[in-house]
């Protein structure tokens, strides 16, 4: 990969005129002759997704932008890409705005559909641009492309057939990773609150692991922010992994119970309770997933970020609130997407397969992208 590029050196007035308006483009920067065309596209496993091609005409290289659960049709990079002479293909996933059922192995089919459509449209080169969670999805796609068909992942972590071994996965020519984190499971692993002692009680707390206790080093930003001792950090991170492992086992148990009920029905000996269990689409809450120590102790892996997380500066509101990463899951989506132990979509597992020319850019003030994580992503590829 190219050396990671930072925004740190851009003067404030340059940042203002850079045209970034959150996640959406600045319409004033769109080329006047740019045209946008919508392409309904079918994935190899038979799901309909939508791709939008932004282009002026005659481009030979397409830059493919996609996120596993967001619709990024007006992504802020589109004007710059089209101005520079590239077509921008922005595709929606099958699970737009909904990670409840998101399984990354199935999202690989969504990427495959977009790559195949761009080849069909005649583009000579395809570059995958992964922003945030789109980066690890594209790394996962590339990893599966590079595997012999019989060595691709045949089943999701939840046991669902992926159909990847029998699917044609076309290679791509390069990557751009913007503000990548190590993977959605790794993101939650770093942020999950291990002081929760009862998954059914969002207010249960082990005081010895409470990240918002002054006894453990927490201080509000007005008092300089937290200072966590190395011993606490070690215990905290080990307990985070242990909590994820417990949720993994719970999720696998739900799937196992459902499969056993289905088998009884299939064998003709099931009860009404078995029929109900076989039909049940289990869902569960994962509370308190916004407690990454690095967000409150800014001396840990320092950067230009401010106190607080991507969800806000009030850690109680963001950690206990109804909005957050992995807040509601199916057992399948937890295992495939949000588990830092079971998910296959991470740079740790997939980064080494990246041999194509790649550019990595990170934002030094980002509250989900930390310098050491970016360095690890860079070294993995």
Per-residue pLDDT of the chain (381 residues; tens, 9 = 90+): 444 444 333 333 333 333 344 589 999 999 999 999 999 999 999 999 999 999 999 999 999 999 999 889 999 999 999 999 999 999 999 988 777 889 999 999 999 999 999 999 999 999 999 999 999 999 999 999 999 999 999 999 999 999 999 999 999 999 999 999 999 999 999 999 999 999 999 999 999 999 999 999 999 999 999 999 999 999 999 999 999 999 999 999 999 999 988 888 888 877 888 888 888 889 999 999 999 999 999 999 999 999 999 999 999 999 999 889 999 999 999 999 999 999 999 999 999 999 999 999 999 999 999 999 999 999 987
The secondary structure of residue 336, as a DSSP letter, is I
Residue with tokens 């761009």: 118
Question: Taking a C-beta distance cutoff of 8 angstroms, is the pair 237, 189 a contact?
Answer: no
135's enclosing H/E stretch is helix 133-146
The count of residues in the chain is 381
What pLDDT sits at residue 14?
A: 33
Tokens of 110: 């969504």
Q: How far is CA 245 from the centre of its chain?
A: 19
| C-alpha distance from residue 206 to each of 203, 226, 284 (Å) | 10, 18, 22
190: helix, strand or coil: helix
Angstrom distance (rounded) from CA 64 to CA 206: 45
Contact 219, 225 (CB under 8 A): yes
Query: Which residue shows structure tokens 């969504």?
Result: 110
Quote the CA–CA distance of 61 and 322 in Å, as a whole number. Answer: 42
Return all residues near 338 (Cβ < 8 A) that are at least 6 apart: 99, 184, 185, 188, 286, 325, 326, 329
Measure Cα distances from 63 to 60, 66, 89, 143, 214 in Å: 10, 10, 6, 19, 48
Q: Would the CA dihedral through 126, 127, 129, 134 be positive or negative?
A: positive
Cα–Cα distances (Å) from 290 to 208, 245, 300, 337, in that order, read 18, 18, 16, 16
pLDDT of residue 96: 86
pTM beyond 0.85, yes or no? yes
pLDDT of the residue at 136: 97
Please write down the long-range contacts of 203-209, taking CB distance under 8 Å and 24 or more positions apart: 203/320, 208/235, 209/235, 209/236, 209/239
Which of helix, strand or coil describes residue 163? coil
Closest of 138, 168, 165 to residue 151, by C-alpha:
165
In the block, tokens 């595997």 appear at: 147
Of 288, 291, 293, 306, which Cα lies nearest the Cα of 229?
A: 293
Residue 209: other Cβ atoms inside 10 A: 21
Helix 184-191 with 133-146: angle, nearest 10 deg: 130
Alpha-helix residue ranges (DSSP H) falling in 306-370 = 315-320, 331-333, 347-350
Query: 37 in helix, strand or coil?
Result: strand
pLDDT, residue 268, reads 82
Residue pair 55/39 in contact by the 8 Å Cβ criterion:
no
Positive or negative: CA dihedral 185, 190, 192, 196 = positive
């Amino acid at each position: 990969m190219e050396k990671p590029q930072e925004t740190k050196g851009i003067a404030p007035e340059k940042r203002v005129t850079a045209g970034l308006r959150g996640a959406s483009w600045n319409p004033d920067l769109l080329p006047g002759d740019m045209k946008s065309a919508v392409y309904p596209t079918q994935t190899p496993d038979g799901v309909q997704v939508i791709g939008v091609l932004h282009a002026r005409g005659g481009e030979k290289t397409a830059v493919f932008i996609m996120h596993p659960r967001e619709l990024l049709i007006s992504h802020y990079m589109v004007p710059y890409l089209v101005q520079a002479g590239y077509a921008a293909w922005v595709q929606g996933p099958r699970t737009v705005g909904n990670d409840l059922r998101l399984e990354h192995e199935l999202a690989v089919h969504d990427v495959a559909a977009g790559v195949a459509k761009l080849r069909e449209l005649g583009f000579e080169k395809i570059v995958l641009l992964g922003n945030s969670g789109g980066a690890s999805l594209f790394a996962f796609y590339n990893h599966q492309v590079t595997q012999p068909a019989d060595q691709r992942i045949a089943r999701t972590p939840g046991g669902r057939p992926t159909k990847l071994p029998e699917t044609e996965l076309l290679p791509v020519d390069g990557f751009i990773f913007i503000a990548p984190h190590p993977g959605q499971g790794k993101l939650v692993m770093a942020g999950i609150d291990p002081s929760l002692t009862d998954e059914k009680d969002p207010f249960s707390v082990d005081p010895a692991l409470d990240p918002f206790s002054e006894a453990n080093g927490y201080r509000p930003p007005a008092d300089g922010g937290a200072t966590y001792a190395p011993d606490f950090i070690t215990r905290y991170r080990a307990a985070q992994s242990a909590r994820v492992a417990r949720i993994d086992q719970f999720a696998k148990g739900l799937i196992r119970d459902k499969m056993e009920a289905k088998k009884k029905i299939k064998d003709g000996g099931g009860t009404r309770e078995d029929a109900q269990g076989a039909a049940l689409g289990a869902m569960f809450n994962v509370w308190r997933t916004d407690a990454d120590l690095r967000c409150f102790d800014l001396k840990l892996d320092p950067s230009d970020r401010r106190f607080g997380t991507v969800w806000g500066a009030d850690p109680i509101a963001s950690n206990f609130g109804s909005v957050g990463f992995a807040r509601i899951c199916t057992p399948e989506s937890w295992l495939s997407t949000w588990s830092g132990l079971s998910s296959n979509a991470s740079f740790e597992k997939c980064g080494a397969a990246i041999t194509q020319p790649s550019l990595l850019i990170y934002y030094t003030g980002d509250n989900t992208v930390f310098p050491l994580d970016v360095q690890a992503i860079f070294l993995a590829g």
